[in-house]
Structure 1
Amino acid sequence: MMNPKIIHAIAGTLAMLIIATFWTTTTISELFLSVSAIVAVKHYIAYYGIACLAVCMAMTGGTGNFLSKSRKGRLITDKQKRMKIIALNGICVMLPSAIFLNYKASSGQFDTIFYVVQVIELMVGIVQLTLLGKNFQAGLKMAGRLRKKKPAVA
């Protein structure tokens, strides 16, 4: 059986990479590529990316809960609070947005509503990456791989 710490680290890292890939491919396709490229990006995110991300997030959350049972402290509490926000954003904003944007793109409806939802999805994507990044940093601190910053001496 693989070490839960390793599973947690790999799954969390993959989740961050998947979200960053969604964000980057969306931005590049919409700014620089053709309509067919935008449609393809929306299709792959909705049909394949979400499933991969859901598995990674479930593994990250499950192993995180398992690992945190024996630990206490502010880093754990903060990570758990951030994960609740990440889950809520994912279920309430990111997932419905991805499905909606795929529907609109596949129907050729690149209207104001499409772009408003797209901007919201991109903004929440940055929030997700920021929160996951903070959790990643906290995990490194807990593992002793990242030292706490010492206050600057004047």
Structure 2
Amino acid sequence: MTKIIHPVAGAVALTTIAIFWLSTALTELFASHETIAMVKIAIPWGFLLLIPMLATRGSGFVLAKERRAGLIGAKIKRMPFIAGNGILVLIPAALLLASKAKAAEFDTMFYAVQTLELVAGVTNIVLLGLNVRDGFKMKGRFRVRQPDRFNTKPIL
């Protein structure tokens, strides 16, 4: 069961964070303050989905057993950064931004925290993406294909 829960939770978590990031970036670039406020107020509600998915990712320790080297070790080393970034930066920033957006306070502090949130968010997206890649490698999903010796097409 853990072998199913772990990758599903990871996919849901990564997708949720990517949706948060994209909706924030797109509304900041192209939408009105009212739409920005709607997105900023909605994001903390998404934590109800995201936090259990990230907590379920702890199943990776069960799957890793005692192994700590190679790809498993790399994934384990990334997790404190992902968790710390989320707990110390992303969640507080999202709550502050939701509060300021609800009060229609689109001031310098709002945009400074918004910038920090976007940088921290893309950092987590990249780190989680690397963990997904390494998970696929461990499962043999990224097999290197041998070139076809009989292919006579020229390489341009």
Per the normalisation by structure 2, the TM-score is 0.89
Sequence identity of aligned pairs in percent? 45
The 5 Å alignment of 1:6-85 reads 6-46=4-44, 48-60=45-57, 62-85=58-81
Which structure would you say has the larger Rg?
2
Quote how far apart the aligned CAs of 1:145 are: 1.2
How far off its partner does 1:52 sit?
1.0
**Is 1:141–1:148's contact at 8 Å kept on the other side of the alignment?**
no
Instruction: Note the C-alpha offset of 1:148.
Output: 6.5
Q: Which consecutive unaligned segments of at least 5 residues does structure 1 have?
A: none
Q: Deviation digits for residues 19-68 of structure 1, max 9, x if unmatched?
A: 1100111111111112111111111101x1112110110011x2111101
Shift of 1:74: 1.6
CA RMSD of aligned residues (A): 1.6
In 1: Cα distance, 2:77 partner to 2:14 partner: 17
Give the aligned partner of residue 151 of structure 2. Answer: none
Gaps of 5+ in 2: 147-156
Find the aligned partners of 1:35 and 1:149 in 2 and give their Cα distance. Answer: 50
Matched, 1:98 2:69: no
* 2:68–2:76 contact (8 Å) kept in structure 1: no
Aligned partner of 1:129 in structure 2 is 125
Say if 2:75 and 2:134, in contact at 8 Å, map to a contact too.
yes
CA distance in 1, matches of 2:3, 2:130: 17
